[in-house]
Amino acid sequence: MLVIFALVGLPTGFAQPETLPTAPGTNIVGTNNAGSPVAEPVPDAYLPPAPPIDQNDSHDAMTLLDNKKQIKVGDQLEYMVVEDREPPEVLLVDEDGQIEIPLLGKMPADSHTAQDLAFTISEALKKEHYYQATVLISEHQAANRRGIVLVMGEVQREGVVEIPSGDILRVSDAIMRAGGFNLYADPTRVSMIRPNAQNPESSQRFDINVGQILETGRLDQDLILRANDRIFVGRRGDSSGQYTLSGAVRSPGVYPISIGQKITLSEAILISGGFTEFGDGSDVTLMRYGEDGSRTEREINVNEILEKGRQDNDVLLQPGDRIIVDEKWVTF
């Protein structure tokens, strides 16, 4: 005969299993053969928020950051807010000396130390987003470059040039790292194409007279490169003529127009380095001579072309054209 007993509880007098304390972040799921509780970790999503950091501890943590070495263009920084309980992010100091801070957007970082930048960001975060923000910033050691540029055309070695971390790379630098100009190069005809990160189908073009930069040392005309820029060095050829640029521009002089080259008035201004501090871009004179020796003059507002995109007002230059940029009237 088979007898079945159903246990509905422990009789009085039997010892009850002892309830043992468990560590935070665990959950009791049963007992083992010895009657001891079995626990499993609670998923992170269910962990209670970390206790608030004492205000003095927060301040002390940021004062321990580096306060001597200045941050510079090209640096990669590890950034974190302790209260977020998230791993650090790597932020790049771009060519304008700025970094993109979550919740805040672009902020200047160049020439700051990690310590003073951390305090600045902390105060900005506490204005709208945090009751307390312990910001930690340090140098990211793993990075050795921050991008590449492509150099093509009449150079010794066409191909990729790296932008080293912590360094500024200009157009002339990239050409030198590509072995310099070859025998057929025209240093006055260098173009830099910059893709639009927001719209891959569009880009900006800059025409640069690197020959003049190397002769004069005018770094303000030698553009700082960004990742994925492309440089094209043109081939030397016969000139179809030249134009003259005078007045309040940074590099007045006589400029060649190569065969097949098309250059507008606004491009000629940019190639020369742009207007001086007192240059009047709203009233630029273009003088043109006909085959019979007749002369015509036209006043053009180049500021509108450059600042408002009024390309319909731009003029294609011809050999023999003369451009005159007057100075603004200054009153005291």
pLDDT at site 332 = 53
pLDDT at site 298 = 93
pLDDT averaged per 10 residues in sequence order, the chain, 332 residues: 41 43 48 55 41 67 87 87 83 89 91 92 91 87 69 88 79 93 86 79 82 82 88 78 90 79 86 87 91 89 86 89 87 52
Q: Which residues have C-beta within 8 Å of that of residue 129, sequence separation ≥ 6?
A: 103
Q: Which residues have C-beta within 8 Å of that of residue 235, sequence separation ≥ 6?
A: 153, 154, 184, 185, 186, 189
Q: How far is it, in rounded angstroms, from Cα 88 to Cα 294? A: 69
Extract the tokens encoding 293: 């020796």
pLDDT at site 242 = 86
Helix (H, G, I), strand (E, B) or coil at 238: coil
pLDDT at site 60 = 79
pLDDT at site 293 = 81
pLDDT at site 100 = 92
Beta bridge partners of 164: 145
Q: Can you list the pairs that 197-206 forms with residues at least 24 positions away whose Cβ atoms lie under 8 Å?
A: 206/270
Nearest to 85 by CA among 43, 134, 128, 127: 134
Contact, 175 vs 169, CB < 8 A?
Answer: no
Q: Which domains does the chain have, with CATH numbers?
A: 55-139 (3.30.1950.10), 145-235 (3.10.560.10), 239-327 (3.10.560.10)
Predicted TM-score of the model (pTM) = 0.37
Q: Which residues have C-beta within 8 Å of that of residue 164, sequence separation ≥ 6?
A: 74, 144, 145, 146
Using only C-alpha atoms, the chain has a radius of gyration, in whole angstroms, of: 33
pLDDT at site 4 = 41
| Sign of the dihedral through C-alpha 95, 233, 180, 152 | positive
Helix (H, G, I), strand (E, B) or coil at 186: strand
Give the chain's end-to-end CA distance (angstroms, integer). Answer: 120
